[in-house]
Structure 1
Amino acid sequence: MPGRFFLTSPIVDVARALDQGVGPVADEPARRNIAPGQELVVLTDTGLCRMRWGIIPVGRVDARGRPVMKTLINARSETVFDKSVFRGTGRAVVPVNGWYEWTGEKRRKTAWAITPKSGGLLLFAAITDCWRGPGGIEVDQIATLTCAPSADVVDIHHRMGVILEKDDIGLWLSGVQQAVTPLLRSWPAGRLQVEKAVDVDWNGP
């Protein structure tokens, strides 16, 4: 499942591919290492914007009525519509060129970069929320959805992000639950490329 993203395409190309204006993300630089807790460029039903990757579910409780304390960067697509902690969340799409996974033991891990074989963007389904803090602070935030892995990535992780087709963006952003549920599945096998990640500064952009 996505633990780090990268978006290296010029933001004007990203906007064009999504039939959007650049708007408030016009100054977005190329980024090879986007970590949880940082801002991502996302697409909502109002256009491109930035949101924090990781939902801090302040005020949300689990099925037992207990407060959820951890930051959630991913949510299981199989249960996202059932869990009370996600009730009332919105939807977004995260456009990236790919994501990273790791295999191996601690201190000997191998980093893998996963990209579309055809090039271009991967469009990850996500849910959104707004964290409200003291003094009227508001932070828009997202968590990506995960599903079972395709044959392309099953050897490196037991989960993967839900990847959408471009034609399904509008349905995901505004469709009813019954209509969007079929979108929450593994991407077809043979469409992703997995290569060792090289020359990535894991402490920087």
Structure 2
Amino acid sequence: MCGRFALTATPNQVRETFGLVEVDGFPPRFNIAPTQPILAITQSNRPDPGSNLPDREARLLRWGFLPGWVKDPRDFPLLINARSETAIEKASFRAAMRHRRVLIPASGFYEWRRPPKESGEKPQAYWIRPRQGGVLGFAGVMEIWASAGGSEVETGAILTTAANHAMRPIHDRMPVVIAPEDFTRWLDCRTREPREVQPLLKAVDDDFFEAIAVSDRVNKVANMGPELQEPVALEDPKHAASAPKQDSTQLSLF
């Protein structure tokens, strides 16, 4: 799964990577958590005839997908990820996979290796980033949820797939990364049906990412600085403390 990620690239790097005409300024974010606003790239409905760039635009979504038919979000589970293998078939994601596919810009993501409780080891956090650097485009879906009062919130989820061989010792799932040459294909919901983009929903090559052990400070959403990505030495399991509790306090759009 993907429960925390970061976007530390500059707005200009995001603009160039995704072929945007413009993008509003934003600060680096080192600890993006569920229910917080996330940046998403969509196919624009307002093409610019004077530009040679693709017809794309950036927008903010709430990270936590809500299908349009949900009446009260408090009675619906928080969907931050969607399994790419079954998203086309699931009632929650079926319409979004057909009509509202997006790219989620990221610099990398965090994952936790969680040993069996009987081992005495505590969970270990890892900062997972592309070896060659740059900005990633996670595969995502979005949906517009409307309250009974008529207000609308744009929500989204990140698609995941089975982890590749290199990432499997940490976790059995990982985000789907769309290659830059496939951005247009993935975002084209006008002419390409979900089955036509299904081949894109796969794990990256084993050597694409590097995993860096980091401290458990990333567990707490209030920690937002670059020190979260500083490497730490792995503890001897024999002397490891009990597993830290993950902070549940999160910035919400509701």
Deviation larger for 194-203 or 171-180: 194-203
Q: Does the CA-based 8 Å contact 1:60-1:85 persist in structure 2?
A: no
Name the CA shift for 1:60/1:81 in 2 (closer, same or farther; >3 Å): farther
1:129 aligned onto 2:143: yes
Tell me how far 1:109 sits from its aligned partner. 2.4
Q: Does the CA-based 8 Å contact 1:97-1:120 persist in structure 2?
A: yes
Specify the code of the residue in structure 1 equivalent to 2:140. Answer: A
1:140-184 C-alpha deviation (Å, 9 max, x unpaired): 011111111012211110111111100101111112222201001
Specify the code of the residue in structure 2 equivalent to 1:43. Answer: I
CA RMSD, Structure 1 to Structure 2 (Å): 2.1
1:173 aligned onto 2:192: no
Aligned partner of 1:87 among 72, 87, 94 = 94
1:27-55 C-alpha deviation (Å, 9 max, x unpaired): 31100000010011110002111111111
* Structure 1: gaps (5+ residues): 62-67
1:111 aligned onto 2:121: no
1:188 aligned onto 2:216: no
The structure that has the greater radius of gyration is 2
Instruction: Give the TM-score, by structure 1 length.
Output: 0.88
Specify the code of the residue in structure 1 equivalent to 2:26. Answer: E
Distance 2:146 2:70 in 1: 12
Match in the other structure for 1:6: 6
Distance 2:177 2:5 in 1: 13
Higher strand share: 1
Specify the code of the residue in structure 2 equivalent to 1:182. Answer: P
Q: Does the CA-based 8 Å contact 1:128-1:141 persist in structure 2?
A: yes
Name the CA shift for 1:8/1:197 in 2 (closer, same or farther; >3 Å): same
Aligned partner of 2:77 among 49, 67, 70 = 70
Match in the other structure for 1:203: 222
Tell me how far 1:59 sits from its aligned partner. 2.0
Specify the code of the residue in structure 2 equivalent to 1:110. Answer: Q
Stretches of 4+ aligned residues off by more than 6 angstroms: none
Q: Percent identity?
A: 34
Specify the code of the residue in structure 2 equivalent to 1:15. Answer: R
Distance 1:73 1:22 in 2: 27
1:56 aligned onto 2:66: yes
Match in the other structure for 2:111: 101
1:13-33 C-alpha deviation (Å, 9 max, x unpaired): 11112111333xx23110000
1:40 aligned onto 2:28: no
Aligned residue pairs, count: 197
Tell me how far 1:58 sits from its aligned partner. 5.3
Distance 1:17 1:154 in 2: 28
